[in-house]
Amino acid sequence: MTRPKAIEVRSVSKSFGVYQALKSVSFTIESNEFFTMLGPSGCGKTTLLRMLAGFESPNSGSILLNGNEVVAIPPHKRRVNTVFQSYALFPHMTLEQNVAYALENLGWDGKRIRNRVGEMLERVHMSAMAKRRPGQLSGGQRQRVALARALAPEPEVLLLDEPLSALDLKLRQAMRDELRTLQRDTGITFVFVTHDQEEALDMSDRIAVLGSGEVQQIGTPAEIYEEPVNRFVADFVGETNFLDIDVLETGAGQATVRTPFGVSITVPATGAAARGRATLSVRPEKINLGNQAEGITFEGRVVNKNYMGGYTHYTLDVSGTELRASRRNASREGDTIALGATVAVGFVAGSARVLAA
């Protein structure tokens, strides 16, 4: 017997007055998956999360949790918990009381509650602070308690609404590792909402990129980054160079194109690629400079450079076309290409991609 999907979103649409937040969105989430909804503000990702939680209802379409329709089921009757950006801890309660609160409402007996609270605080490394109140904790510690409270009732799905956005960089990085470890250890399906592409790429099994109320692409982090299906995805996830090109011929997932540099090359293309004017996407780190240049090679002049420690970012003028390149500083000498220098520039054809509009 086939196990049902953890979540199925089927042709869900949602409008707020004249504004359409979601336009017939469909996707599935596997059991035990770390699934991320990624996109800019206003793309519909938080509206979708609120629908999964039961705080919003779609105008049309259906939402299934483990094969059961839940649109008409209120939030407190769904085996779904949410971790909010603000953590939403009760300030007058101790940490153990915060974690125990939902379990008491579910009617668990005292011994079972005590055991579960102790287990969850230990899992998030907060046992030693069980008697403290939220006001005595750092942001990262409050985040851990919010996670413990949400996981304590053994939900089938955990929803996370940009929970790391209020933390500083170092703490965000540490919490990403902890979240991923928690998901793997508990086996619970995590649905994570963020506008931060680095968070999504780092933690997710799969990512749904949303834009203008629609799912633009769903795939693994590598698929989303290396094989964007359109300009929106390529532009939103990571940095890229967009080059105006002429598509001369298409077929079998490839296209022969004429570049602004006067050479014709065959590169990967989306199914929507057609003859005529189009866009070529090349990531900055795929462009090699100086003695590292390979593949399609030409010359460019360095018009700007930014040393970033492990990498140096360059802006190049190639026959009037601006290109950005990133070069790893692999030796102690680091950045050795001078501002204003004319250097060899190159990229492998397979690292570029012809995009749909």
Does the pLDDT at position 351 exceed 80? Answer: yes
Q: What is this structure's pTM?
A: 0.89
pLDDT at 87: 76
Does the pLDDT at position 331 exceed 70? Answer: no
Residues 51 and 176 in one domain: yes
The answer to whether position 158 is within a domain reads yes
Residue 175 binned pLDDT confidence (cut-offs 50, 70, 90): confident
Q: Pick the residue with more confidence: 264 or 342?
A: 342
pLDDT at 356: 67
Domain end call among 168, 198, 226: 226
The answer to whether position 34 is within a domain reads yes
Most confident listed range (140-144, 175-179, 183-187): 183-187
**Distance from C-alpha of 295 to C-alpha of 323, rounded to nearest angstrom:** 16
Provide mean pLDDT across the span 78-97.
Answer: 89
Displacement of CA 125 from its chain's centroid (Å):
26
**Distance from C-alpha of 354 to C-alpha of 89, rounded to nearest angstrom:** 48
Cα–Cα–Cα angle for 243, 247, 251, rounded to 5 degrees: 125
The answer to whether position 2 is within a domain reads no
| CATH number assigned to the domain comprising residue 350 | 2.40.50.100
**Distance from C-alpha of 157 to C-alpha of 117, rounded to nearest angstrom:** 19
Residues 133 and 262 in one domain: no
**Distance from C-alpha of 51 to C-alpha of 73, rounded to nearest angstrom:** 11
pLDDT at 72: 94
Contact 281, 228 (CB under 8 A): yes
Does the pLDDT at position 357 exceed 60? Answer: no
Domain end call among 197, 226, 255: 226
Contact 188, 219 (CB under 8 A): no
Provide mean pLDDT across the span 268-273.
Answer: 69
| CATH number assigned to the domain comprising residue 163 | 3.40.50.300
Strands 80-83 and 68-69: unpaired
pLDDT at 236: 96
Displacement of CA 149 from its chain's centroid (Å):
24
Instruction: State whether the Cα torsion 233-238-244-248 is positive or negative.
Output: negative
Does the pLDDT at position 275 exceed 80? Answer: no
Contact 13, 24 (CB under 8 A): yes
Residues for the chain: how many in total?
A: 357
Question: Domain span at residue 74?
Answer: 7-226
Q: In what order do the strands lie in the sheet with 264-268?
A: 264-268, 254-258, 241-251, 276-282, 352-355
The pLDDT tens digits of the residues spanning 279-300 come to 899 999 999 898 888 888 889 9
pLDDT at 315: 95
Six-digit token string for 32:
């035990």
H-helix or E-strand spanning residue 233: helix 231-236
Interhelix angle 110-123/139-151, nearest 10 degrees: 140
Does the pLDDT at position 333 exceed 60? Answer: no
pLDDT at 21: 95
Q: In what order do the strands lie in the sheet with 7-16?
A: 19-29, 7-16, 60-65, 68-69
Residues 100 and 26 in one domain: yes
Displacement of CA 225 from its chain's centroid (Å):
10
The answer to whether position 234 is within a domain reads no
The pLDDT tens digits of the residues spanning 111-169 come to 999 999 999 899 888 999 999 999 999 888 888 898 889 999 989 999 999 888 777 77
Residues 270 and 182 in one domain: no
Residue 272 binned pLDDT confidence (cut-offs 50, 70, 90): low
H-helix or E-strand spanning residue 260: none
**Distance from C-alpha of 63 to C-alpha of 52, rounded to nearest angstrom:** 7
The pLDDT tens digits of the residues spanning 9-65 come to 999 999 999 999 999 999 999 999 999 999 999 999 999 999 999 999 999 999 999
Residues 267 and 208 in one domain: no
Place of tokens 């929970």: 163
Q: Pick the residue with more confidence: 261 or 152?
A: 152
